[in-house]
Chains A and B, each alone.
Chain A
Amino acid sequence: MPNVPSDRPRRISVQRQGPVLVEGPVEIELEDGTTVSSDRFRVALCTCRRSRRYPWCDTSHRKRG
């Protein structure tokens, strides 16, 4: 990555129920200091903490009925 500021801020979409959506690529530092990365065009980050693929959303936030 070149060391220049991006020409626009990175877009992050939040919603009351569901993941945070971040424009990729991303590198995420976890609590234990390890990092995971994704070069998908957009990534969905878990906010409900129920994902079995944390920090990525796996749709576990969905209502069950």
Chain B
Amino acid sequence: MAHDHAEPRLPAARGPLSAAVQEYLLGAGPLPAPEQVTDADPYGDDLQLALYLCYELHYRGFAGVPADAEWDPDLLRVRAALEERFLAALRADTRVPDTVDEAVEALLVEPVEGNGVSHFLRDEGELWQLREYAAQRSVYHLKEADPHGWVLPRLWGRAKAAMAAVEFDEWGGGRADRVHARLFADLMADLDLDTGYGHYLDDVCAEALATVNLMSLFGLHRSLRGALVGHFASVEITSSPGSRRLAEALRRTGAGPAAVHFYDEHVEADAVHEQVVRNEVIAGLLEAEPHLAADVAFGIAATDTVEDRLATRLLADWRAGRSSLRTPLDAPHHAPQTSHSF
């Protein structure tokens, strides 16, 4: 299986905001007007895709878009307006625990009767739902741990050393074939999915885009470094039991060994990462910068907000027997549309 090194194709727009950003990136039109941003649904397809387009310029960019667009000041101004909408909605919709300990403790209790996506997939998930789940998550897992790398220069001492160690593990511990993004691509191949970076960008729902935009938002702002650490802690703490359930689901549906291996590796790796992130990264950060405690708690709780929205969306669609993707994987014309109809 080869990873493609080409820049991903720009996805189709999902509304006036994303259409304007997309056309601007291609040099074909003006940026959206400020009032278009303030009128948009902060969690909707249009705003989330527009934000995703702005953020992706910091990762792999898009085919046909100059690399320098990353630092285009006019585009950055629009990105800031989009971020303000998203962040304001998150702050309004997130109940933030009073302390970091309270936020962490809540994550450490395993529900006896869990009703999350991984519980559903373990107990009754069908292969088509597992494939959809992998496609939805591919927008993150094909750049797994990358958004958290932005925080490294903003930490020091214990927090930095521990964060770098966990990231090193996520990035394969020096071995290309163990990079977690690579393991996820192998999982996708087992599930007969396209492993190209950004291949499913046209298909994933707004709620999945929001989970990645949250990491990019926290990662790209030094002012949100506490929230980024909180986000990372939340992912590492919840990943291990969730991965176990997903590995069970994959075994039950007869997925291949690479698919199972991805989640097995996460059971083991994240049981360690959880400990390191709690005892070293969070503790180290708050020792150096105790005023960031509220931000860490917000990062943990906001992750819950966007993950809950995604879970609600996926389970509602699957329980109704519907695809959660904008174009089902088995659709004859799965190739993304190029028109701007929305």
Contact = CB atoms under 8 A, between A and B. Distances in A.
Chain B binds chain A: yes
Interface residues of A, number: 21
A38 B265 CA distance: 12
Contacts of A57: 268, 271-272
Interface in B106-131: 108-112
Nearest to A41: B165
A58 B244 contact: yes
B271 A59 contact: yes
A53 B240 CA distance: 12
A44 B272 contact: yes
Contacts of A18: 275
B112 A59 contact: no
Interface string A5-40: 000000001000011010000000000000000111
Residue of A52, A57, A59 with highest tally of chain B CB at under 10 A: A59
B274 interface: yes
A41 B109 contact: no
Contacts of B109: 62-65
Which secondary structure characterizes the binding site on chain B? Answer: helix
A44 B169 CA distance: 14
Interface in B83-122: 108-112
A42 interface: yes
B118 to A, nearest CB: 13
B276 interface: yes
A40 B169 contact: yes
B236 to A, nearest CB: 11
A39 B173 contact: yes
Nearest to B107: A62
B168 interface: yes
Given A18-B275, A19-B275, A41 B169 contact: yes
B241 A64 contact: no
Interface in B260-280: 264, 267-269, 271-272, 274-276, 279
A59 B269 contact: no
Nearest to A52: B244
Contact of B272 (A21, A63, A64): A21
A34 B274 CA distance: 28
Nearest to B243: A58
A46 to B, nearest CB: 9
Contacts of B168: 41
B276 A42 contact: yes
Interface string A43-65: 11000000011001111001111
B85 to A, nearest CB: 36
Given A21-B275, A41-B173, A42-B276, A58 B112 contact: no
A13 B169 CA distance: 19
Contacts of B276: 21, 42
Given A40-B173, A62-B110, A65-B110, 20 more contacts: A21-B276, A38-B268, A40-B269, A41-B165, A41-B168, A41-B169, A41-B173, A42-B165, A42-B272, A44-B271, A44-B272, A53-B264, A56-B268, A58-B271, A59-B241, A62-B109, A64-B112, A65-B109, A65-B111, A65-B112
Closest 4 CB pairs of A and B: A57-B271, A59-B240, A44-B272, A65-B109
19 contacts: A19-B271, A19-B275, A41-B169, A41-B173, A43-B272, A44-B272, A53-B267, A56-B268, A58-B240, A58-B241, A58-B267, A58-B271, A59-B267, A59-B274, A63-B108, A63-B109, A64-B109, A64-B112, A65-B109
